Amino acid sequence: MLPLYPDTFLLKTHVHTRTLGLRPFVELEPTDHPLAVEQREAITMDRVREIAEALLHPEEMQ
């Protein structure tokens, strides 16, 4: 589960391994799910702030 995104549990992904010491790259299958759209099309700094606020201050999101 990811805050601010609906129903992420069964999203299909492709995991791309990389050089030792680098994290794998997780690519979501292209769908209309908001997380997949944001990964594919990029997000604004305002959206980054919104996500950060939700993670840092979850009690304010209720």
Residue 7 lies in a domain: yes
User: 24 near 16, Cβ under 8 Å?
Assistant: yes
Whole-model pTM: value is 0.78
Residues of the chain with pLDDT under 70: 60-62
Residue 54, domain member (yes or no) = yes
pLDDT at 22: 97
Give the total number of structural domains in the chain: 1
Give the model's pLDDT for residue 59. 76
pLDDT at 13: 96
Tokens of 21: 């010491």
Question: Do 16 and 25 contact (CB within 8 A), yes or no?
Answer: yes
Domain span including residue 7? 1-14+27-62
What token pair was written down for 40?
């594919």
